[in-house]
Structures are given as C-alpha cells and as structure tokens.
Amino acid sequence: MAVARQKATEAYYGKILDNQVVRWQRAKELRTYRAELAQRLEDAGPDEDLDSTRQWLGWIDQHITRTDPTETLPDMPATPELTPDDLKPYLGSWSPHGPEANVNSWQRQW
C-alpha cells in the first residue's frame, strides 16, 4: 500500500506539473502574439483606432500575468488525499480495500 500511495502521489504531482507547463507554453505564445501586436501598433497610421488596440494590449498583459504559472514562484503541491480508487492502478491484482475484498463470502471466516 505504501508503494501504491507513493506512485499515486507522484502521478498527482505529475499532472499538476503537466498543467503548469501547458499554461507556461501558452503564456509564451501569448507574449509572442502581444509583441507582434505592439509592433503593429508602432507601425500604425494616424487614422487607425490606436486607443482600442492599447486597451486590448493592456488586457492581454493582465491575462498573461494571471495565467502564467511562472509569474510567481509555485509552491510544492499539498499531498493529495487519496481514495481507494486512486490506488487501484498501482496495486496490480490487490484490492485497495484490504485482503478481505478478494475473498469470496463462503471463504470468509467469521
């Protein structure tokens, strides 16, 4: 059970890390897009609606700050509260409910 708990916890942490990397990659893409828009703004002609674009760039900046996991240093995730179902994939043929769960009712000793 201890090994199953460790493996389930590692899988839980792995999912959190994967989510952070996806969000980080997305933030990098958004920064690239934002830089392109900023360059376009610098090259804009006098008859274009620049105030609206500036507002949009400001919102993009705020969005990136809110969603990029590297904007603040992340904490170690809390240890998950694992259920028996969380342990099943790591127990092979063993039951997370104890050895009695694998015994037929006629085999149980009362």
**pLDDT, mean over the chain:** 89
H-helix segments, 2-105: 2-42, 50-67, 84-87
Mean pLDDT within 9-24: 97
Orientation angle between helical segments 50-67 and 2-42, nearest 10 degrees: 160
Give pLDDT, residue 48.
77
Mean pLDDT within 11-36: 97
Q: Which of 61, 68, 66 has the alpha carbon at shortest distance from 19?
A: 68
DSSP 8-class letter at 46: T
In angstroms, the Cα distances linking 19 to 9, 24, 52, 68, 77 are 16, 9, 32, 11, 13
A 10 A CB-CB count for 65 gives: 11
pLDDT > 70? residue 104: no
Residue 99 pLDDT grade (very low, low, confident, very high; cuts 50, 70, 90): low
pLDDT > 70? residue 100: no
* Amino acid of residue 80: P
Residue 35 pLDDT grade (very low, low, confident, very high; cuts 50, 70, 90): very high
Asked whether 53 and 37 are in contact (CB, 8 A), the reply is: yes
Residue 65 pLDDT grade (very low, low, confident, very high; cuts 50, 70, 90): very high
Name the percent of the chain lying above pLDDT 70. Answer: 89
58 or 53: which leads in pLDDT: 58
pTM value?
A: 0.75
